[in-house]
């Protein structure tokens, strides 16, 4: 079956712009999580959605937002981009998100802010 | 808050040899899970092995095994019979029951040398 699909794979934006990243989970998976990966900070949790509800949010400013649709696809949005937002953004999906279910990751979207 | 520490930024091992990657964590939770993820150059995070904190028996998956020391809050990964395909970044991760998020260490870059 198809894995987690993130689009686009690469993105270049200018400071001050906004960006929307998309994640299509594995069919049947209802939990989608987002992570930011940078060389300096490593992997940091952004948010998690289950059945269109945000259940947990990481320590990121309000410029970072997300949502999940009824088909479990998720989008994250970053407004007023800063240079420090340059990162690999990873999406993970799981059947339900319990500690015992495996989270499957996509290949990520590489965002460069110039 | 939970923290995960990987003290070895880089390691190398000859193929067919055994290598151990270290991970320590800090938490006040009693019910939690620990993971090792592999991130090859393709960037896709892949679950290597999982350990439930309530289980005393160390998890094993083929050539991969862990040494889980709950009192010491230590969770090391042993890779036996290393193969070139094991070359990747390895991340130790933690999740507490009901938290819906993974906390990652900074990673260890493992190179398998032919």
Q: Which of chain B's residues have a Cβ under 8 Å away from the Cβ of A58?
A: 101
Residue tagged 């808050």 (tokens): B1
**Residue B36, both tokens:** 């090792």
pLDDT in tens, A22-71: 999 999 999 999 999 999 999 999 999 999 999 999 999 999 999 999 99
Between β-strands B108-113 and B10-14, what pairing exists: parallel, antiparallel or unpaired? parallel
pLDDT higher at A58 or A98: A58
Q: A97 — contact with chain B (CB < 8 Å)?
A: yes
Strand locations in chain A (E) = 5-7, 10-13, 19-24, 31-38, 42-50, 53-57, 64-68, 74-78, 87-94, 104-105, 109-113
Q: Which of chain A's residues have a Cβ under 8 Å away from the Cβ of B50?
A: 102
State mean pLDDT over A87-111: 87
- List residues of B whose CB lies inside 8 A of any A CB: 32-33, 37, 42-47, 50, 52, 91, 95, 97, 99-107
Q: What is the pLDDT of residue B1?
A: 80
Of A42, A99, A108, the CB nearest to B43: A108
Q: What is the pLDDT of residue A97?
A: 65
A102 neighbors A93 (Cβ within 8 angstroms): no
CA dihedral sign, ordered B70, B74, B80, B83: positive
pLDDT band at A1 (very low <50, low <70, confident <90, very high): low
- DSSP per residue, chain B: --EEE---SEEEEETTS-EEE--EEE-S-SSEEEEEEEE-TT---EEEEEEETT--SPPEETTEEEEEETTTTEEEEEE-S--GGG-EEEEEEEEETT----EE---EEEEEE-
Q: What is the pLDDT of residue B78?
A: 98
Q: What is the pLDDT of residue A95?
A: 83
pLDDT in tens, B42-64: 888 999 999 999 988 999 999 99
Question: How many other C-beta atoms lie within 10 A of the C-beta of residue A40?
Answer: 7
Average predicted confidence (pLDDT) for chain B:
94
| Chain A: closest CA distance from residue B92 (Å) | 11
Candidates B39, B59, B101: best to mutate against A (most CBs of A within 10 A) is B101
Of B32, B42, B102, the CB nearest to A103: B102
Question: How many other C-beta atoms lie within 10 A of the C-beta of residue A62?
Answer: 6
Please report, to the nearest 10 degrees, the dihedral formed by the alpha carbons of residues A55, A60, A63, A66 taken in order: -30
State mean pLDDT over A83-112: 89
Q: What is the pLDDT of residue B98?
A: 78
pLDDT in tens, B82-95: 999 999 999 999 99
């Amino acid at each position: 079956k198809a894995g987690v699909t993130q689009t686009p794979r690469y993105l270049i934006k200018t400071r001050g712009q906004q960006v929307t990243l998309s994640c299509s989970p594995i069919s049947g998976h209802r939990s989608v999580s987002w992570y930011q990966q940078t060389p300096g900070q490593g992997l940091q949790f952004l948010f998690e959605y289950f059945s269109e509800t945000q259940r947990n949010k990481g320590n990121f400013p309000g410029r970072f937002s997300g949502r999940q649709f009824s088909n479990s696809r998720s989008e994250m949005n970053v407004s007023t981009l800063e240079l420090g937002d340059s990162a690999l953004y990873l999406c993970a999906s799981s059947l339900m998100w319990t500690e015992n279910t495996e989270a499957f990751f996509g290949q990520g979207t590489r965002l460069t802010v110039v | 808050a939970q923290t995960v520490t990987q003290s070895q930024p880089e390691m190398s091992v000859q193929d067919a040899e055994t290598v151990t990657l270290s991970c320590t964590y800090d938490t006040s939770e009693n019910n939690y899970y620990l993971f090792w993820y592999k991130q090859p150059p393709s960037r896709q995070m892949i679950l290597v092995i999982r350990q439930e904190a309530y289980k005393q028996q160390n998890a094993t998956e083929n050539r991969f095994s862990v040494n889980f020391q709950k009192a010491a809050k230590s969770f090391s990964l042993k890779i036996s019979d290393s193969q070139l395909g094991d070359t990747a970044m390895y991340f130790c991760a933690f999740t507490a029951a009901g938290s819906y998020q993974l906390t990652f260490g900074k990673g260890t870059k493992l190179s398998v040398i032919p």
